[in-house]
Structure 1
Amino acid sequence: MTNTNKLVVKDNALIDASFNLSLIEQRIMLLAIVEARESQKLSPDTPIEVSVSDYIHQFKVDSNNAYALLKDAARTLKRREFSYLDRYKGIEALSTANWVNKVTYVDNNGLIVLYLSHEVISLISKLSEQFTKYYIEQVSDFKSKYSIRLYELIIKWLSVTKTEKYSINDLRSKLGLSVEEYSTMSNFKSNVLDKAISEIN
């Protein structure tokens, strides 16, 4: 699959979700979403393969410690959650779900096998309205996990040409920041926003 065909497609509920994934975990999920789009019958039992060599090539990272880093990230990804706006019996509600049901690391092959959760599958496949798409190449050079998230929040509004206004607390939540992290506005601006904006620009 060429880089020009590696399309990331997410329901806007997932774009607007609150979660805290490391840069490596976000990158693994992006590759998994691209790979999952190729599956004809995607289910929680469908193995989604992400090879370490593809990761190294896509994100242009040093191969020396990539295998160990991805193995650790695959392990922690199993415990990660995200919260998103949902509906229950027609009423707006907040749901929390896991990204994956199971993660397998095939050491000898340098391969991560992900089994996506039902919720993730519903938010990345068979989308007909209210979704955001972009090519993975557009975020491949980002070195900050906040850059990817901010880019997604912005690109969602591409056709409208201006974004909605986010409160600081809402934006911090969507970027995956806890209350203690970069708690002062100056730290948040210099260490999160300015760096992300610089990378996106």
Structure 2
Amino acid sequence: MTDLVVKSNRLVQALQTLTLSETRLLQLAIVDARETGQGLSTDEPLELDALRYAKAFNVSPDAAYLALIEAEDSLFKRQFTITNEDGTLTKSRWIQDANYRKGEGRILVTLTRVVIEHVTKIDGFEQYFTSYHLKKTADFKSVYAVRLYELLMQWKSVGKTPVYELNKFRSQLGIGVNEYTRMEAFKRRVLDIAVDQINEFSDITVKYEQHKKGRSISGFSFSFKPKKATIRSIETNRDLNTTDLFSRMTDKQRYLFATKLSELPEMGKYSQGTESYPQFAIRIAEMLQDSEKFKELFPYLQKVGFASA
């Protein structure tokens, strides 16, 4: 499995309140639902086990068991609010039922219709979805770091975000109305911790700028870039014959040709489970960001016209 977390941008931007263990369980549910094809129906539960959780997030089996128990009791009650294209709001739960199998270390959860729509109906164009590999957030200890990282990944092609209005930003991070109401506490207990963990554990470095209206802070914007080690590992592994093409491929081209490749019969060996063509295209687009995978897929890219694009 590639452990690729994919959500629509609207779901990433949703107003939500989740604990770290709940967020992690949903990450696993989204990854496994998309990659196995199970759990993509409101009639079919998805099975998650403690050992999978423990391995994914580098925690002990005991901690993983506790996370599953907590999820059965609390995740079912959690709600989020998503903004629709017409500006109206939809409120939904994350899961519609949960069944913890005591003594077996596993839980069966069924995602809600709204969640399923926003993790499966992806049309392959970057502006509509956010994706990242689970391992990029696995070592975060703060749920706010996970949420901030997701918000940043919407803008990974440009490396900077628009200004997030303060009150909405707090809700997107999952902060209650009465929590960290003083700016000093918000920055010290939430924002700075999230930024520090992203800088320490993830594949990017980020910094923020605060914006004011009058004397009060009204919002924050962020700029970020890949860590030098990440850039260096990509550059040193490039094949001389494909270096120029790899470096010249734009994000728009990457998603365009990923869609074409997903429909190529020869690419069938890379397909996983029962994923749809759009889901397969998303994974291919991620593969094309890796120089070695680009080199491996280059003959197929030529076949669908990339070299002459």
TM-score (norm 2): 0.61
The structural deviation recorded for 1:112 is: 1.2
Aligned equivalents of 1:139 and 1:65: distance in 2? 17
* Counterpart for residue 178 of structure 1: 176
Q: Determine which of 113, 123, 131 is the counterpart of 2:108.
A: 113
Match among 23, 28, 52 for residue 25 of structure 2: 28
1:7-26 map, 5 Å? 7-26=4-23
Q: Offset of 1:84 from its aligned partner?
A: 0.8
Q: CA deviation at 1:70?
A: 2.1
Q: Percent identity?
A: 41
The residue that corresponds to 2:95 in the other structure is 100
Q: Is the 8 A contact 1:25 1:74 kept in 2?
A: no
Residue type at the aligned position of 2:5: V
114-123 or 155-164, which deviates more: 155-164
- How far 1:64 moved relative to its partner? 3.0
Equivalent residue runs for 1:1-201 within 5 Å: 1=1, 5-37=2-34, 38-39=36-37, 42-87=40-85, 91-128=86-123, 129=125, 130-201=128-199
Larger radius of gyration between Structure 1 and Structure 2? 2
Instruction: Report Cα offsets for 1:145-174 as digits up to 9, x if no partner.
Output: 000000000011001221111111111010
How many residues align? The count is: 195
Shift in Å at residue 69 of structure 1? Answer: 3.5
CA spacing shift, 1:162–1:40, aligned 2, 3 Å? same
CA contact (8 A) 1:100 1:117 kept: yes
CA shift at 1:62, angstroms? 2.5
Distance 1:23 1:65 in 2: 12
State the shift of 1:73 in Å: 2.2
Deviates more, 1:185-194 or 1:122-131: 122-131
> C-alpha distance in 2, partners of 1:108/1:148?
30
Provide the secondary structure at the position in 2 that maps to 1:124: helix
Instruction: State the SS of the aligned residue for 2:84.
Output: strand
Higher relative contact order (CA 8 A, sep 6+): 1
* Cα offsets for 1:103-144 (capped at 9, x unmatched): 111112211111000000000003014001000000000000
- Which runs of 5 or more residues in structure 2 are unaligned? 200-309
What is the Cα deviation at residue 41 of structure 1? 7.9
Most deviating of 36-45 and 95-104: 36-45
Task: Map Cα deviations across residues 61-109 of structure 1 (whole Å, 9 max, x no partner).
Answer: 133343133212222111110101114xxx3201110101101111122
User: Any idea what SS the aligned residue of 1:159 has?
Assistant: coil
Which 4+ runs in 1 deviate beyond 4 A? none
CA distance in 1, matches of 2:152, 2:67: 29
**Runs of at least 5 residues in structure 1 that lack an aligned partner in the other structure:** none
Write the distance in 2 (CA, Å) between the matches of 1:7 and 1:82. 22
User: Following TM superposition, by how much is the alpha carbon of 1:40 offset from its aligned partner in structure 2, in angstroms?
Assistant: 6.6
Task: Provide the C-alpha distance between the structure 1 equivalents of 2:89 and 2:8, rounded to a whole number of angstroms.
Answer: 15
